C-alpha cells in the first residue's frame, strides 16, 4: 500500500514540476557584442552592422538602404553622432525622427542588462524577455547558449529587428 502511495506521489510531483515554466539557464548577453542587423522601423527598412561596447551605447553602420550606405550613427545615451565620409555632427536624438531606432535598441538592451522584465524559455531553448520601455512593450529573444540577442519586436513603434552573428 505504501509503495503504491509513494509511486502515486512521485508521478504527481513529476507532473506538477513539468507544468511550471522553466527558468532560463543563461542570462541575456546584451552588454558587448557585434552583429549584423536587419530592422524595420516605421516605414524604413535598414541593414548594416551593430556594435555594442557597453551599457547606454550603440553604434550602427548602415549598408541599406542605399541612401544611408556608409552612414554610421553612434548613440551614447544622450546624443547621437552621425559620421559620413569623414564628416560628423552630434545632435539631440529627438531632433532626428529616425533616431528612435537606435534609442529603442539601447533602451531594450539596457533593460535586459539590468534584469528587467519577465524571462522564460522559448522555442529551441531560446531566452524570451518581455518588458516595457517608454516606447511600449517589447519582446527580445536571445540565444539559449550564448545569450546574444536574436530578434526584437516593439509593436507600438513599430520596430522589428533580427540579429545575425557570423
Q: Which domain holds residue 53?
A: 24-164
3-state secondary structure of 130: strand
Q: Provide, rounded to the nearest whole percent, the portion of the chain with pLDDT above 90.
A: 72
Which pLDDT belongs to residue 8?
A: 41
Predicted local confidence at residue 91, as pLDDT:
86
Q: Is residue 116 part of a domain?
A: yes
How confident is the model at residue 10, as a pLDDT? 47
Answer whether residue 120 is part of any domain: yes
- The domain that holds 70 is classified in CATH as 2.50.20.10
With respect to residue 82, please indicate whether it lies within any of the assigned structural domains. Answer: yes
In a domain, 14, yes or no: no
- Residue 30, pLDDT score: 94
Our count of domains for the chain comes to 1
Residues 46-83 have pLDDT tens digits of: 999 999 999 999 999 999 999 999 999 999 988 999 99
In a domain, 15, yes or no: no
158 has a pLDDT exceeding 70: yes
Structure confidence by residue, pLDDT tens digits, 96-154: 767 888 999 999 999 999 999 999 999 999 999 999 999 999 999 999 999 999 999 99
Note the Cα 151 to chain centre separation in Å. 6
Q: Is 90 a residue whose pLDDT tops 90?
A: yes
Confidence at residue 152, expressed as pLDDT on a 0 to 100 scale: 98
Residues contacting 53, CB < 8 A, separation 6+: 32, 59
Q: Mean pLDDT in the chain? A: 86
Q: Is residue 4 part of a domain?
A: no
In whole angstroms, give the CA distance from residue 56 to residue 49. 17
Q: What is the pLDDT of residue 25?
A: 61
Query: Is residue 16 one of the residues assigned to a domain?
Result: no
Using only the alpha carbons of the chain, give its radius of gyration.
Answer: 20
Q: Which residues are CB-contacts of 71 (< 8 A; sequence separation ≥ 6)?
A: 61, 62, 82, 83, 84
For residue 10, tell me if it sits in a domain: no
- pTM of the model as a whole: 0.82
Region 29-41: mean pLDDT is 96
Give dist(CA 25, CA 91) in Å, integer.
40
Cα angle, residue 48 at apex, residues 46 and 51 outer, rounded to 5°: 125
Amino acid at each position: 500500500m505504501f509503495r503504491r502511495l509513494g509511486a502515486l506521489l512521485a508521478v504527481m510531483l513529476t507532473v506538477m514540476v513539468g507544468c511550471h515554466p522553466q527558468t532560463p539557464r543563461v542570462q541575456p548577453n546584451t552588454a558587448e557584442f557585434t552583429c549584423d542587423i536587419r530592422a524595420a522601423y516605421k516605414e524604413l527598412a535598414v541593414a548594416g552592422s551593430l556594435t555594442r561596447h557597453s551599457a547606454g551605447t550603440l553604434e550602427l553602420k548602415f549598408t541599406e538602404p542605399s541612401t544611408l550606405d556608409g552612414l554610421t550613427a553612434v548613440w551614447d545615451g544622450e546624443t547621437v553622432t552621425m559620421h559620413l565620409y569623414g564628416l560628423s555632427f552630434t545632435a539631440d536624438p529627438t531632433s532626428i525622427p529616425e533616431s528612435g531606432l537606435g534609442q529603442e535598441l539601447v533602451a531594450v538592451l539596457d533593460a535586459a542588462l539590468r534584469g528587467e522584465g519577465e524571462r522564460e524559455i522559448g522555442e529551441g531553448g531560446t531566452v524570451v524577455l518581455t518588458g516595457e520601455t517608454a516606447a511600449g512593450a517589447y519582446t527580445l529573444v536571445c540565444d539559449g547558449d550564448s545569450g546574444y540577442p536574436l530578434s526584437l519586436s516593439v509593436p507600438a513603434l513599430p520596430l522589428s529587428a533580427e540579429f545575425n552573428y557570423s
